[in-house]
Structure 1
Amino acid sequence: MLVHPEITPPDNFYHFRDTTDCRDYVVSDIEPIFSASPSVASALSGELDEAGRNTLLSRRFPGGSLKVVAAKAPRNLRRHNVRMLLMDEVDGMAPTAEGSPILLAERRTLSFPDRKIVLGSTPVHEETSHVLRAYAQSDQRIFEVPCPCCGVFAEITWDQITWPAGEPEAARWRCPSCGEEIEERHKPQLVAEGRWRATAPQVQGHAGFRMNALISLHANAAWGKLAAEFVAAKDDPTTLQTFVNTILGQGWRSEGDELDETGMAARAEAFGLALIPAEVLALTVGCDVQHDRLELTYVGWTEAGGMLILGHRVIWGAFDAQETWAELDTLLRERFPHALGGRMAIDATAIDAGDGTSMNVVTGFCRPRTARKIFAIKGAPGNRPVIERAGSKTKTGARLWIVGVDTVKAQLFARLPRVGQVRFSAELPAVWYEQVASERAVVRYSRGQPVRNFERIPGRRAEALDCAVYAFAARQMVNINPEARREDLARVEETPAQRKGPVLQSDWMRRR
């Protein structure tokens, strides 16, 4: 994260991704800061009102003003000329129709010779990070602390945190100069005596600051707790990325741009829908709609979040034929034998309604089946949540859910190559692996800014990848109690042959 040590009025201009972020930030961060400072609270003593000049997102005070605007609309960025510009979480900002929101905002400070621009963010992807690129252009200051043993100043980095095997709670900092291991109890003194040092002092007029959670004095940022968090996260690339981004303040670099279909197929195991493995506690389905068929991928989920690709099915038939959807309804009602002894139902299904031609048919099928967690979804690119409810209903009154396909693909591309993170059924056809590896991650420039997205490899179909994305998104709609689910799956159901009807007693045969 990049910060600036001195922020002074007037004409402050905060720059966020959307209006919701703006309001949340003002309520949770700005207002408490104002209230805690008597001098600031006095200057901002004017009452907030909707019709007057002071609102939650726009305030005037003696000597200046404060405006908080969203980065999504270029109009917001063109309307204001400011001397001081503050931009937060810039790695979550997508290019607008008029180019980079960061550059658009910076242009509004050109008329002020004493302007000040503050840009900060948790970095996300290393190759497209706005904040890392800005830091690389700065004097690149790091925060160093003195070793209590040798007195040499050094930045505390993750590779210097060490602990005995199996005891992450005993983590210490190993001084890179003398090799002594420093206990957590010394951290407050280390930080109090720390200093900033510019590693690129030749750069003038552009200060950059880098810090991580290892120097935080919060109890939850103790080295032992962070080490335990790392041990729990290190085997899952999605949780490891969160650790790298939010704890270490570093950008995430993907292992590769393409998936190895041959390598994934070689890991196939002898399990499937005929008998679902005991560790699977949830089951979701992703359904891709084509004009002449429906394709479904079944994904099982373990308590720890592991994925088991259990099977793939195809329903042949026109997308607008009643028989096609009747067959789908039958398949989605199916209950599968489970290794714990009982049978497992499908917990949630996501069906693609993104094709404008098939949307009405899909939403018409899903609407009466919402109670069974059968959802109509539409994929959307960019930096979005895995799945969220669409802001408004379709023209027919149906409800859509929006799937952040790039977000999900980034997680799948990190998981699929890893042994243990995703397991594959030997029943999957060879074409499934070819289709799931049908795209590659690339960095392209959009309106002058690097954007990481996914592009189709020429000549390949992508139904299996789409199905996997939708099944992944559907998992977010499922909430289970693991112990209760195990008990339920261990309950053996009676077969029709075992069910006996009532026995009627009659003396008719005794009549003479």
Structure 2
Amino acid sequence: MAVRRGLSPLKTQVPQTAVEWCDEHFFLPEGSSQIPGRWATQPVQKAPLNMMGNDAINIITVQKPTRFGYTKMLCGALWYLGVHKKRSTVVYQPNDALAKDFTVNEINPLLPVVPAIQAAFPDWSLNNENNTVKKKVCTGFSIDIKGAESPNNFRAITKQVVIADELGAFSINGGEGDNIKVLLKRIQGASFGKAIFGSTVVYSGDVIERLMLEADCVFNFHLPCPHCKTMQALEWGDKDSAHGMKWDNSLVGDEAKSQSAHYLCRNIECQSAETKGRIEYRHLSRMEDRGRWICEKTGIWTEDGLSFYNAVGNKVRAPRRVGIKCSALYSLNLTEGWIELVREWLDIKGDPDKLQAFINLTLGLHFDPVNTRRLDHQVLLDRREQYKAQVPNDVVYLTCGGDTQDNRMEGYVWGFTADNRKYMIDRFVCMGDPRDPEVEDAVVEFCARTYTRADGEVIRISRVCWDLAGHRAEVVYKLSKRIGLLRFIPCRGASSYGQPVQTMPMQVNKKTGTYIVQVGTDTAKDIFYADIEVPLNEQRAVHLPLDGRICGEDVCKQLVSEIRKPKKTKQGVVFVYDNEGRRNEALDCFNYALAALQVSIEKFSLDLSSFKTEKNVQMAAAASFADLGKKLGAQ
């Protein structure tokens, strides 16, 4: 037995492609797969999986969506390269914790169910130095699984194959220069060195986009229309697109609309035919059987990832560096087909976070943030309207956002409705040193103001968030203690992007004796800039008063003072807001007023839909303050 095991690396195997090997030997285990059982390579997966195992291809980069089966393909290719070709591999995940998760959730569950792995891995059932979460030592090859955050994990590692999963989350420079160069050093000198890079993507300008630009060919999957046979890559499109994903917008309700989901062929003549160019999800499997992966830059194409042809059909060498782009539109694992993708799209309803998730994860595309162009302030001036009273009838809750400068205190009152519309109600400016008692008294008086709704109800400002960063923070703390710790709350912008609109601690700050709210200013700005473009008669719309004292030209300029600009960081390119030196107090104060609303909703169970009159609001506020000890541990 020992001799047989020692000679097993010399055993001759019938050559197989990655797809052939996986279809014969690979299994999807219970618990880590949606559909457990024997692996069957789907048409959309054949060329990418074969490219992962093709010795002629040195670097393959996959810009992956969800529902593509990439992780399972990666595991199949990993074991194919090891078991069938005796290639040692190092797998990098963004950090050590994710590396461990990859072993526990993806690699280890395969060991008891894949006999081909067991035959090449004598210690598969043991817990010893040959079988750990970081290393698998098999007969004739080994697999290392490491995190990419530590430079030590790149040292003294030489393999035939390097895999970087979720490469977009890696640092661009881990301390030893360009991480791509560092990764490729792991396979330098190998006879059939191969790098497999895969990742979901976020913003343009990331490392995946760079690798795609450096690739010899970037392939998209083109399918023949079942009616006219026109080859085309599936695209989502939009309402103005001549082809792409479509649904019947005349139907009532999102569910009815999503049930009508279909794809419209790009051939105009096909659209004019009896079939109207309508492609159904049931056609997809047969279309993919006849599909081709085509590089639109070079015209080179392949059907199986093994043989490559130029635009006129002559066979050519396989490209050394390839890129693969795909989307969930090609997935054959959708329970309800394209219906569920359209349902997901209709659920976005202008939410920028949901939109980004759909673009990044479902379509597998980079998300180009909105607000990279400044909105003309004249649009806001023209949008202003004459309110029937100080506060429109449907406003049920008032908050205030305030800003402290060296020479003034400034605040804006915003009203909110049950359906999330926003009304600018009032503006406060008091010139003078904030430390002067007269200025402080003016802020106190302002926060005590009451307003009359169109129906005659009197409504007051329920909660205030006032910026303390950079200017006279001690004055803001003093005002909080004077007006009320939970009615007037000091706040500051969060130190990192992508934070919630508000994050409030459960106890007062021991140093200041007040609560301090962290405001996700970029998230709040995303909301404002998305909602300012919503028509006035729709939910979420932003309303501005036709009143020069409250909302004149200068205020409108401040509200649209910021745009998103690309910024290089260690993690890649991110888009950050920049006012480019313009005044932005009005926008900042909206952020703080929105944070004050969210504090009320998230910390005091505010339900705007249940408020109809000021009496309800005052009763709810009283109940909230009575419950402070339980809610926030106030002292």
Whichever residue aligns with residue 265 of structure 1, its letter is L
Secondary structure at the residue paired with 1:11? strand
- 8 A Cα contact 1:273 1:336, kept in partner: no
CA-CA distance at 1:353 after TM superposition: 2.6
> Given the superposition, is the C-alpha separation of residues 230 and 493 from structure 1 closer, same or farther in structure 2, using an over 3 Å criterion?
closer
Mean CA deviation greater in 386-395 or 151-160: 386-395
CA-CA distance at 1:161 after TM superposition: 1.6
Counterpart in 1 of 2:154?
80
Counterpart in 2 of 1:358?
472
Counterpart in 1 of 2:409?
294
Do residues 197 (structure 1) and 294 (structure 2) align? Answer: yes
Counterpart in 1 of 2:222?
144
Q: Partners in 2 of 1:104 and 1:217 — Cα distance?
A: 35
Q: Partners in 2 of 1:195 and 1:366 — Cα distance?
A: 66
CA-CA distance at 1:14 after TM superposition: 0.7
Q: Partners in 2 of 1:94 and 1:344 — Cα distance?
A: 51
Q: Partners in 2 of 1:61 and 1:377 — Cα distance?
A: 49
- 8 A Cα contact 1:333 1:346, kept in partner: yes
> Given the superposition, is the C-alpha separation of residues 299 and 373 from structure 1 closer, same or farther in structure 2, using an over 3 Å criterion?
same
Q: Partners in 1 of 2:617 and 2:398 — Cα distance?
A: 22
CA-CA distance at 1:267 after TM superposition: 0.9
The equivalent position to 1:184 in structure 2, one of 277, 281, 294, is 281
Q: Partners in 2 of 1:312 and 1:380 — Cα distance?
A: 27
CA-CA distance at 1:108 after TM superposition: 4.5
Q: Partners in 2 of 1:60 and 1:306 — Cα distance?
A: 56
- 8 A Cα contact 2:600 2:606, kept in partner: no
Q: Partners in 2 of 1:106 and 1:340 — Cα distance?
A: 68
Aligned residues: 471
Secondary structure at the residue paired with 1:266? helix
Whichever residue aligns with residue 146 of structure 2, its letter is K
Matches within 5 A, 1:359-438: 359-363=473-477, 366=480, 369=484, 371-372=486-487, 374-380=489-495, 382=497, 384-388=499-503, 396=511, 400-417=516-533, 419-420=535-536, 421-427=541-547, 428-438=551-561
Could you list the runs of 5+ residues in structure 2 that have no partner in the other structure?
A: 1-61, 65-69, 79-87, 238-243, 252-256, 272-276, 301-317, 619-635
Counterpart in 1 of 2:110?
37
Counterpart in 2 of 1:14?
93
Counterpart in 1 of 2:249?
165
Counterpart in 2 of 1:500?
none
- 8 A Cα contact 1:342 1:493, kept in partner: no
Secondary structure at the residue paired with 1:149? coil
Matches within 5 A, 1:59-138: 59-62=134-137, 63-70=142-149, 76-77=150-151, 79-81=153-155, 84-88=162-166, 90=168, 103-104=178-179, 106-113=181-188, 114-124=193-203, 126=204, 128-138=205-215
Measured on the aligned residues, the alpha-carbon RMSD in Å equals 4.5
Counterpart in 2 of 1:224?
339
Q: Partners in 2 of 1:308 and 1:170 — Cα distance?
A: 37
Q: Partners in 2 of 1:336 and 1:44 — Cα distance?
A: 73
Q: TM-score, normalised by structure 1?
A: 0.73
Mean CA deviation greater in 461-470 or 415-424: 415-424
CA-CA distance at 1:414 after TM superposition: 4.5
Secondary structure at the residue paired with 1:118? strand
Do residues 466 (structure 1) and 595 (structure 2) align? Answer: no
Q: Partners in 1 of 2:145 and 2:617 — Cα distance?
A: 69
Larger radius of gyration: 2
Mean CA deviation greater in 192-201 or 387-396: 387-396
- 8 A Cα contact 2:151 2:176, kept in partner: no
> Given the superposition, is the C-alpha separation of residues 132 and 263 from structure 1 closer, same or farther in structure 2, using an over 3 Å criterion?
same
The equivalent position to 2:381 in structure 1, one of 250, 254, 265, is 265
CA-CA distance at 1:209 after TM superposition: 2.0
Q: Partners in 1 of 2:328 and 2:492 — Cα distance?
A: 38
Counterpart in 1 of 2:391?
275
Whichever residue aligns with residue 111 of structure 2, its letter is P
Counterpart in 1 of 2:9?
none
Q: Partners in 1 of 2:557 and 2:439 — Cα distance?
A: 26
CA-CA distance at 1:120 after TM superposition: 1.0
Do residues 247 (structure 1) and 362 (structure 2) align? Answer: yes
CA-CA distance at 1:65 after TM superposition: 2.3
Secondary structure at the residue paired with 1:286? strand
Deviations for 1:373-405, whole angstroms, at most 9, x for unmatched residues?
A: 835223435555544469999782666444343
Do residues 174 (structure 1) and 264 (structure 2) align? Answer: yes
CA-CA distance at 1:150 after TM superposition: 3.8
Could you list the runs of 5+ residues in structure 1 that have no partner in the other structure?
A: 71-75, 496-512
CA-CA distance at 1:172 after TM superposition: 0.9
CA-CA distance at 1:67 after TM superposition: 1.9
Q: Partners in 1 of 2:601 and 2:130 — Cα distance?
A: 46
- 8 A Cα contact 1:416 1:422, kept in partner: yes
Whichever residue aligns with residue 89 of structure 2, its letter is P
Matches within 5 A, 1:201-216: 204-216=319-331
Counterpart in 1 of 2:424?
309
Deviations for 1:219-264, whole angstroms, at most 9, x for unmatched residues?
A: 5774334334434546566654444344333332536522311221
Whichever residue aligns with residue 174 of structure 1, its letter is L
CA-CA distance at 1:350 after TM superposition: 3.1
Secondary structure at the residue paired with 1:454? strand
Q: Percent identity?
A: 19
CA-CA distance at 1:170 after TM superposition: 0.7
- 8 A Cα contact 2:424 2:544, kept in partner: yes
- 8 A Cα contact 1:394 1:400, kept in partner: yes
> Given the superposition, is the C-alpha separation of residues 347 and 136 from structure 1 closer, same or farther in structure 2, using an over 3 Å criterion?
farther
CA-CA distance at 1:318 after TM superposition: 3.2
> Given the superposition, is the C-alpha separation of residues 343 and 450 from structure 1 closer, same or farther in structure 2, using an over 3 Å criterion?
same
- 8 A Cα contact 1:366 1:374, kept in partner: yes
Whichever residue aligns with residue 201 of structure 2, its letter is T
Counterpart in 2 of 1:501?
none
- 8 A Cα contact 1:287 1:349, kept in partner: yes
Whichever residue aligns with residue 235 of structure 2, its letter is T
Counterpart in 2 of 1:499?
none
Q: TM-score, normalised by structure 2?
A: 0.61
Deviations for 1:166-223, whole angstroms, at most 9, x for unmatched residues?
A: 2322121122243421223444554566554333457933322222232334557743
